Amino acid sequence: MAPLSRLVGALPASLLALVVVAISTVLPAGVHAQTFGIGDPNNVTSLSGTWCTGACHVVTGLQFYNPISETFTYPLSAGQSYSFTDDGFWEQALYLYSTNPSQPNCVSAQLIWQHGTYTLNSNNTLTLNPFKGDGRQQISDYCAQVSNVVQSYTQKEDMNGFEIHLDTHYGQPAYYLKLYEFDGAPKPIMWQTYNPPQMLPTEQLHQVVIGELNGA
Ligand SMILES: *[C@@H]1O[C@H](CO)[C@@H](O)[C@H](O)[C@H]1NC(C)=O
Ligand SMILES: *[C@@H]1O[C@H](CO)[C@@H](O)[C@H](O)[C@H]1NC(C)=O
């Protein structure tokens, strides 16, 4: 068979355009600038497991949120944790601090717990759907009149991509997960700490009574 370059050189310009189109459609998916989530798709290991930041003070499961008493346990320090099962369930535990620049004394802390089902899309993005009305948040605000109230929380999360890599954590080989938020911002890396994951039961745990907890 003649080399492609010689073949193409022999063609009139009008036909050349057709050839270029034909060649580009033959290229494997992913080579072209098609819409694709961030991160190199990889399968060094599955998403399955419990992933958490830093020293893993924040971790999904009962030690973070107790659905029977509907109470949070404050972790030692701020952090984030996500868990995934291979059969499509997820859970998150977030402990976030923020300061108000105009009132530096007014530190507020937010605890968020949610779980539900997720989809791993073919374009390397993740859609995390919460069980409606099952999530909870608690905000403690040093300057607010009403603080530390546990409220219902339901927020779908779209991850614009993810990567999993093998590295060393506290001297041990460990996988870490990097999630990219809907706007492409990377989350802090999370280390795989448990596999199988440590999670609360992967089903609706609270009765869905809209507004009940918020007193609305
Ligand atoms: C990836 O696929 C999902 C599901 O089809 C879609 O909602 C999302 O917009 C896609 N994202 C990109 C970056 O193409
Ligand atoms: C990754 O994919 C390759 C090719 O499909 C497969 O052989 C390998 O077992 C997979 N690795 C993991 C950890 O799933």
Which band of pLDDT confidence, cut at 50, 70 and 90, is reported for residue 216?
very low
- Tens of pLDDT, residue by residue over 179-213, are 999 999 999 999 999 999 999 999 999 986 555 55
The first and second tokens of residue 199, run together, are 């999670």
48 touches ligand 2 (CB under 6 Å): no
State mean pLDDT over 96-105. 84
Residue 160 has pLDDT above 70, yes or no: yes
Closest ligand by atom to 45 CA: 2
Q: Give the separation between CA 73 and CA 63, rounded to whole angstroms.
A: 7
**pLDDT the model gives residue 68:** 94
State mean pLDDT over 120-141. 94
Distance 118 CA to ligand 1 centre (A): 14
Residue 4 has pLDDT above 80, yes or no: no
Lowest-pLDDT choice from 9-23, 75-89, 164-178: 9-23
Residue 201: asked if its preceding bond is cis (omega within 30°), the reply is: no
Asked whether 159 and 146 are in contact (CB, 8 A), the reply is no
Average confidence score pLDDT of the chain: 82
User: From the CA atom positions of the chain, what is the Rg in Å?
Assistant: 23
State mean pLDDT over 121-131. 94
- To test the pocket of ligand 2, the residue of 43, 44, 47 to mutate (highest count of ligand atoms within 8 Å of its CB) is 43
Domain boundaries, the chain: 38-194
